[in-house]
Amino acid sequence: MEKIEVKKEKQNGIDWRFVVSVGGEEYYVILDREYWQKLTWGRGDPIELVRCSFEFLLARESKESILARFNLREISRYFPEYETEIKKQIKTADSGG
């Protein structure tokens, strides 16, 4: 899998905005604080959630198929299993296993 680089671009009271680079491709991603809370129980780094989400996407499609700009919550529209899988991954990482 190609290296995934995530940089926080902006932050406000409602959301975070990121630039994600994967093998020369750039993506602009929004993560709502409310959605981050839902997926991570308010724990963990939002950057890590975005990185894990790109790992999830790249396991299912090519980097060229990923939308150039999107809100993280849109992933579940295309991949209904996203929330369940990402919560498992985060829970496992949080418990150290």
pTM exceeding 0.85: yes
- Cα distances (Å, whole numbers) of residue 64 to 4, 22, 24, 88: 14, 10, 10, 26
pLDDT digit string, tens, across residues 17-49:
999 999 999 999 999 999 999 999 888 899 999
Dihedral class, residue 42 (left if φ above 0, else alpha if ψ from -120 to 50, else beta): left
Hey, where are the domains in the chain? 4-94
The burial class, CB within 10 Å (0-12 / 13-18 / 19+), for 63 is middle
